Amino acid sequence: MSLIVQKFGGSSLANMQRVFNVARIVTQTYNQGHSVVVVVSAQGDTTDELLSKAYEINEEPSKREMDVLLSSGEQISMALLAMAIEKLGYHVVSLTGRQAGILTNSRYGSARIKSIETERLFKELDAKNIVIVAGFQGWNKYDDITTLGRGGSDTTAVALAASLHADVCEIYTDVDGVFTADPRIVGNPSKLRDISYDEMLELASLGANVLHNRSVEMAKKYGVKLVVRSSLNDSEGTVVKEVGSVEKMYVRGVARDNDIARIAVIGIEDKPGMAFKLFSLLARERISIDVILQSIGRDDTNDISFTVKKADLQKSLGVIRENLGMLNAKEVKYSENYSKVSVVGAGMVNNPGVASMMFEALYDADINIHMITTSEMKISVLVDVEKAERAVNAIHDKFKLGEINS
């Protein structure tokens, strides 16, 4: 007998039929003799509806009250799922973040889990209950409700799996698993049987929306075996674990990210420390920098280009403009017309051929590369936004990723 944590997202619980579908998955697992802890998100559009009610009243509500409001969404879905499981004839109990013992820090709206007091959870499991836990929420030392921010329910599931020493943490979603590329972009992507935490982290941060970064980081840290699978069919899903299988390939997937703004600081004086000054200004504002390119400009000056998330564009431009003098720079330009296209795979670093194959694919498809960045496990390029889908397809074809499981 093992302990299984199963997480279901909002779309898996969007209506009565889907709630019963989830109830059947959960009770089937229970019937196989396992202990089951279920983590749920708010149903379908509930969170968006609550947000719009809030913003209608106050465009800048306090984050504390926003957390009070939003946490009700998971409370509604956990009660409804519990009722469906009762209807199927099983003993079940639903728990809020607090009842499940999920203690967080006090950063409302994007809290971090500090610890999980598992006493109540184990008591309910010992009593043979199916246990449903509200995802995305916890409680802080002031006795207040907190929420974990975007992707929070995945994080709740992994944290519970780690604390309860679960055998596996299953993340149910509306796709069959992790694919070599987004099925909305590429016609014939392959589903990966398994993938390493690091590869999954790269894919997640490069725009694959299957799992949230923090949940993968936590799974890696605590060695939680993750399975990503569909709530709509029985297909096996993708296992995320320490080391992926050694299939004869280096590239595991292609991802695209449109949430990119490029900023170019032009005419920076060519002396040591200028890049440090620029990026420490941005770091102070908690702005994350991605691809960086430094090139020699005219008159012994340098141009430094880099990308940020679109939401950080205006703040970044403001900081830089205020400090153009200190940076000895001439001007700052920006563009939102780029996409980042990346290939990811653990073995790439030892195979220089991967980069040249990628560039060849783009060249054959007549797609210009604006910037390049590489790391241990990925190669990313910036291309024109309107060419990004074509780029993903060209690369996917070049590496024959559609044939992995065939």
Q: Does 5 bind a copy of itself (CB under 8 A)?
A: no
User: DSSP 3-state assignment of 240?
Assistant: strand
- Which contiguous run of DSSP H or E holds residue 105? none
Q: Which segment (14-22, 171-179, 294-302, 376-384) binds a copy of itself by CB under 8 A?
A: 14-22
Q: Does 145 bind a copy of itself (CB under 8 A)?
A: yes
Rank residues 78 and 263 by Cβ distance to a copy of itself and give the closer one.
78
Q: Does 116 bind a copy of itself (CB under 8 A)?
A: no
User: Judged by CB under 8 A, which of 4, 5, 19, 219 binds a copy of itself?
Assistant: 19
State the amino acid at position 98 in one-letter form.
R
Q: Does 245 bind a copy of itself (CB under 8 A)?
A: no
Question: How remote is the C-alpha of 284 from its chain's centroid?
Answer: 24
User: How many residues belong to the site for a copy of itself (CB under 8 A)?
Assistant: 38
State the amino acid at position 104 in one-letter form.
T
Q: Does 371 bind a copy of itself (CB under 8 A)?
A: no
Q: Does 54 bind a copy of itself (CB under 8 A)?
A: yes
**Are the C-beta atoms of 214 and 224 separated by less than 8 Å?**
no
- Which contiguous run of DSSP H or E holds residue 160? helix 152-163
Q: Does 243 bind a copy of itself (CB under 8 A)?
A: no
Rank residues 133 and 343 by Cβ distance to a copy of itself and give the closer one.
133
Radius of gyration for the alpha carbons in the chain, expressed in angstroms and rounded: 23
Q: Which segment (143-151, 185-193, 219-227, 332-340) binds a copy of itself by CB under 8 A?
A: 143-151
The Cα 149–Cα 155 span in angstroms is 10
User: Judged by CB under 8 A, which of 62, 295, 351, 368 binds a copy of itself?
Assistant: 62
User: Judged by CB under 8 A, which of 16, 243, 283, 326 binds a copy of itself?
Assistant: 16
Q: Does 66 bind a copy of itself (CB under 8 A)?
A: yes
Q: Does 45 bind a copy of itself (CB under 8 A)?
A: no
Binding mask 79-98 for a copy of itself (x = CB under 8 A): xx-xxx-xx----xxx-x-x
Q: Does 63 bind a copy of itself (CB under 8 A)?
A: no
User: Could you please report the per-residue DSSP string of 184-233?
Assistant: TT-SSPPBPSEEEHHHHHHHHHTT--SS-HHHHHHHHHHTPPEEEEESSS
CB atoms within 10 A of CB 126: 9
| Nearest distance, CB of residue 56 and a copy of itself, angstroms | 5
**Residue where the block lists tokens 């610890």:** 115
Q: Does 279 bind a copy of itself (CB under 8 A)?
A: no
Q: Does 144 bind a copy of itself (CB under 8 A)?
A: yes
Rank residues 83 and 283 by Cβ distance to a copy of itself and give the closer one.
83
The Cα 243–Cα 258 span in angstroms is 29
Q: Does 72 bind a copy of itself (CB under 8 A)?
A: yes
CA 301 vs CA 293, 322, 327, 333: distances in Å: 14, 20, 12, 16
Rank residues 53 and 321 by Cβ distance to a copy of itself and give the closer one.
53
The Cα 69–Cα 62 span in angstroms is 11
Q: Does 69 bind a copy of itself (CB under 8 A)?
A: yes
User: Could you please report the per-residue DSSP string of 267-331?
Assistant: EEESSTTHHHHHHHHHHHTTPPP--EEEEE-STTEEEEEEEE-GGGHHHHHHHHHHTTTTTT--E
Rank residues 64 and 193 by Cβ distance to a copy of itself and give the closer one.
64
Rank residues 142 and 276 by Cβ distance to a copy of itself and give the closer one.
142
Q: Could you tell me the strand order of the sheet in which 102-104 lies?
A: 113-116, 102-104, 137-139, 145-147
Rank residues 132 and 354 by Cβ distance to a copy of itself and give the closer one.
132
Binding site for a copy of itself (CB under 8 A): 16, 19-20, 50, 53-54, 56-58, 61-62, 64-66, 68-69, 71-72, 75-76, 78-80, 82-84, 86-87, 92-94, 96, 98-99, 120, 143-145
